[in-house]
A and B are shown apart, each in its own frame.
Chain A
Amino acid sequence: MASGQQWVLVEMVQAFYEAPAYHLILEGFLILWIVRLLFSKTYKLQERSDLTEKEKEELIEDWQPEPLVPLVSKDHPPPKYDVVSGPTSHKIIVNGKECINFASFNFLGLLDNERVKNQALTSLKKYGVGTCGPRGFYGTFDVHLELEERLAKFMRTEEAIIYSYGFATIASAIPAYSKRGDIVFVDEAACFSIQKGLQASRSNIKYFKHNDMDDLERLLKELETEDQENPRKARVTRRFIVVEGLYINTGDICPLPELVQLKYKYKVRILLEESLSFGVLGEHGRGVTEHFGVNIDDIDLISANMENSLASIGGFCCGRSFVIDHQRLSGQGYCFSASLPPMLAAAAIEALNIMEEDIDIFRLLRDKCKHIHSALQGISGLEVVGESISPAFHLQLEKSTGSRELDVKLLRGIIDYCMNRQIALTQAHYLDKEERFLPPPSIRVVVTIEQTEEELEKAASLIKEAAQHILQHTVLGH
């Protein structure tokens, strides 16, 4: 091949010598013309009467920006937060009143576990508090490596990666894989951090109805027909399904087996967010994969935070090394953020130890969930939303008053009623204008294994009482 090319080259040079002068001049002229065409503007810019300096100054003088933050009107003062003095453990002091905590996601009661605290303390005595650097620059501690290994082992995956902030975990993981032009199918009830991750990925996002596999399949079929029309594009367009194991906004479990079927049928990868289901569902607390007996390798990526069941701070992703390792250079929240304080990692390791030693706690948690779930049925005016084994579920108004503001006020009334009687509850809060599909206002009830039978009963009957008291009161008032 090389000699052939050489031959052509020699011929060209020969031809060049033999060509007559006018021919060369003509060709030279043509080349110049092409160059001109390449570099000249193809259209004339419309005539612009440029502004004079004086006019510019006037414009600058005239411009008035909006205020940095909108002015708050006097009738809508910023809402006051409830203030907790002391730890947010089982017994909690809210606004000066001691209550039983039905609001923190401390499902396994590990927040005030002495073993966890002691491990954190030992770690603090060894490493101090902060890490003073991102993972890449001396912010990797032996504790981080240990925690990653332990998480991977616990979840029975090849590799795990930890983040220093729960919210940033899935929000960084999604854009590490899904880029501009890729397609992501998302459940409408997906939580806010998923929505932010999707926004950061700048991918093409398709929402399907909450837990509605037919709707998802319809979208997948649509894509299939599009693919047939444009196979070249289809070959490079990555596609993902993003779902939650246990939806924080609805308390529902995703139909994972069906999702896995769809995954192989339409060749779509599954990213699963398990912040609520990790340490809750399944015999060993491994989450929704264990709950359904789905092979964990069939899920491309599992992400969860360590702030609920593990009662520490941060989050992790796990899966096959082929997938997870990519985040070590591409996960923004991993690369560009200071690493997790070692004492928080040490606390998470000890929490994992406890979860591994005693699988009874998961059963216990489920029993308690079922207990309060059935106790809360049949309250007039309030509807229980969520699975009976979900430790975080919602109480929604059966009939909205028609105004969200009023609904919120009513629910707040119920909460205050309970809070005055030693049961701490909270509403599920959202940024109303930022949510893609704003869930209806609700009270979120959180079950932990520390709550006794009596406390569960008490909470249920108080809520019933409050609902009667407040909802009927309002009906009369209208």
Chain B
Amino acid sequence: MRSIVRLGVGGVILRALLLRSCALRRSVSKMAASSGRVLKSFVQGCCGCSSVILPSIARNVILQKPAVTVLARLVCTSSTLQRKNIAAAGPEKYTQEFIKKQIEEFNIGKRHLANMMGEDPETFTQEGIDRAIAYLFPSGLFEKRARPVMKHPDEIFPKQRAVQWGEDGRPFHFLFYTGKQSYYSLMHDTFGKFLDIQKYQDRMRAEGLFSQETKQVNLIGSRWMIKEELEEILVQPISDHDCLRFIQLLERILALPYCSMEEEYIQRFRRALEVQSKKQKIEPLQYDENEVAFSTGEGRRKTATATTIVRDNGSGNITVNGVDYLHYFPVLQDREQLMFPFQFLDRLGKHDMECKVTGGGRSAQAGAIRLATARALLSFVTENEVESMRQAGLLTPDPRVKERQKPGQEGARRKFTWNKR
């Protein structure tokens, strides 16, 4: 409690800082100021305290007022004595008023912080708040999440579900008593669409206008939603089984001949697949003094890095670090690696290649040059060929590196010789 005394004795600035910091206390998870820490630990220590007025504190803090001795004993209890299972209550619930109050306090604290830092309170952004907190409460903790933070209460307190029933107790949603109202209501609506299509089909059959050749829903280039995306839409956790059931129902709808009636509804649950080949950055062709087209590429493998220049109108000459490839790579396997991109594109004798390579070993350098060549050749080649190169694996950098040695073992995997005694 010495820290509280320090508060009473200390200057206005310290008191002001502490007041403001107490306003920020809910938002600031750990206070560098020791008084806050003591207060927090005091609260944590006596979690079940019924009356905690210590006349000694009162006397220390209130300098002007007479010490009003309140007749109260310090009763320290703990959860075990009160037989309260705190964990069974679940995560702490916050009322709307509490959250609103927190938001007000946050805004006031933000303005105070802006004043403290000498910035304009109106245009004080979250980055400014982060900088201010890092400056005022410097923390050397390694865990970023343990450092003091001041964020909008909506980001700190978990989202609570609004109360699902009215004042008379009647729930708003007709499927409330199932427990998973949004999911089952979605299933209900989707099945309703299925029945509508069937009714339409029956009507067409009755009128004799039924035909199998109807417009089909285009499913190419898209995929079904995954469980996480569905949970986001429903704002409610669901299981894998539920998600599977829902997708099966949608597939059943798609199996009907007149499914295009509800195409819009179904497309809501499909997500576009990203076209992988579009991610390749293809440099445009460059031309040198003799108007010969050339292109550069870079590649890495293990610890080797290679840069290549591939020229057009060539005859298949390859130079590596100023040396002919036959001399640099005496092993056939490495030369095959160099040759593979050209062979794949049927351009074996048409290009000249000049490359520089450092680091790694024999195989690693060969692999690095191969990747660099493939990337250089992208500029000479059509889109379909780019896609086929990607599928062949020519454009994928090999992620394998040397695995580290672990303590207690001789190598990465090899264990020490086992001794029976």
Do they bind each other? no
| A residues apposed to B, CB below 8 Å | none
| B residues apposed to A, CB below 8 Å | none
